[in-house]
Copies of this chain bind each other. A is one copy, B any other.
Amino acid sequence: MSIGRLATLCGCKVQTIRYYEEVGILPPARRSGGNQRLYTPTHGERLLFIRHCREFGFTIEQIREMLLLGGDGERSCEEIDRIARERLEEVKQKILRLQGLQAELERIITGCQGGRVITCRILSSLADHGQCLHPRHGVMDPEEGVGN
């Protein structure tokens, strides 16, 4: 199977597949006489696993670890469980964070009565920390705004 076909089947880009090979989570493919990659269904399965993990927001390092742990079928799945639970915790935290943000944004947008910029409550809310109701000011995570 060519790299293009694999990309189509797995719903990702050709460059992404080469990137996964480069960072070592997808094993190098056999090459044709003209140096083109030839993939097996096994590669396809692994790539689908990787893509699915990425959709859940696992990092490449977490995926690498899971693939390593998954390689030994007799090993306890404790560690896999831990990684997944860690990710779940992150997701929950981020939801809370965003819900706070949503409330605050709604508050400042509601304040704006649609006049001129000089009296705009959105701008003044953003300018003035005194008006800020935000609970964890300045300690955001790097994916959603400022990370300190």
- Chain A residues close to B by CB (< 8 Å): 11-12, 45, 48-49, 51-57, 66, 69-70, 72-78, 80-81, 84-85, 87-88, 91-92, 94-95, 98-99, 101-102, 104-106, 108-109, 112, 114-120, 122-123, 126-127, 129, 132, 134, 137-138, 140, 143-146, 148
A-B contact pairs, 9 of them (CB 8 A): A45-B127, A49-B126, A54-B145, A55-B138, A74-B118, A77-B117, A77-B120, A91-B98, A95-B99
Say how many copies of this protein the assembly contains: 2
Question: Per DSSP, are chain A's interface residues mostly helix, strand or loop, or mixed?
Answer: helix
A143 near B143 with CB under 8 A, answer yes
State the CA gap A55–B134 with chains docked (Å). 9
